[in-house]
Amino acid sequence: MNKLLATLIAGLFATSVYAQTATAPATPATTTTTTATTTDTTMSSGQSGAAGATSTGDAKADKKINKADEKEAKEISKQNEKIDKATAKANEKKAKAQHKAEKKVAKANEKVAKADLEDKAKASAKAEEKTAEANYDAQKTMIKADEKAQKKIVDANADKAKAHAKAKEKRAEAAAEAHKDAAK
């Protein structure tokens, strides 16, 4: 749960950093700080690093860049859906586990309430044991659900980073080709 919370906070932070860089005056894309910020933003918020990039002046190169951007956006969208699905599934499992534990606790407390006066202490001790066991089982299930979701989220973020790197490569190739054609 702490990892999920940390991931969400990191995404929020990266989004705010992206918002600040988007409103800042345009700087060349070759500076290391701009590139690093763009890369971090892409991995956290799913935004393309070259969104709103200026034209190279070569229609063929611009078409390749746009195609790379579209492909990257599609992959990021796909991975975000996987992340959302994994998170929803984990939350559903956790809710079911909590509900199951609550039912067991309620059943144990009901037995205590129905017990005779002389059996009340024994029933109460048994209810405490059942409550502890139910809570442990619920926590164990919740931990497994979070762990499974985190693995899927990590894989999806890795795929998003790969898509970003591939798009960056395609943009660089297209720009180089445009420069090469312009030099002729």
Reading phi first (left if > 0) and then psi (alpha if -120 to 50, else beta), residue 52 is in left
**Residue 177 one-letter amino acid:** E
pLDDT for the residue 38? 37
Can you tell me the distance from the alpha carbon of 158 to that of 145, in angstroms, rounded to the nearest whole number? 20
Which two tokens mark 134? 């139910």
How many other CB atoms are there within 10 angstroms of residue 27's CB atom? 10
The 10s digit of each residue's pLDDT in 158-173 is 999 999 999 999 999 9
Residue labelled with tokens 């933003």:
41
99 has pLDDT over 90: yes
Say how many C-beta atoms besides its own lie within 10 A of residue 26's C-beta.
9
CB atoms within 10 A of CB 53: 15
> What mean pLDDT is predicted for residues 6-24?
58
**pLDDT score at 26:** 39
Q: Using 50, 70 and 90 to split pLDDT, how confident is the model at 184?
A: confident
Taking only the tens place, the pLDDT of each residue in 112-130 is 999 888 888 999 999 999 9
- d(Cα 68, Cα 54) in Å, to the nearest integer? 15
Whole-model pTM: value is 0.62
pLDDT of amino acid 13: 62
**pLDDT of 8 higher than 70:** no
Q: How do the domains of the chain map onto residue ranges?
A: 2-183
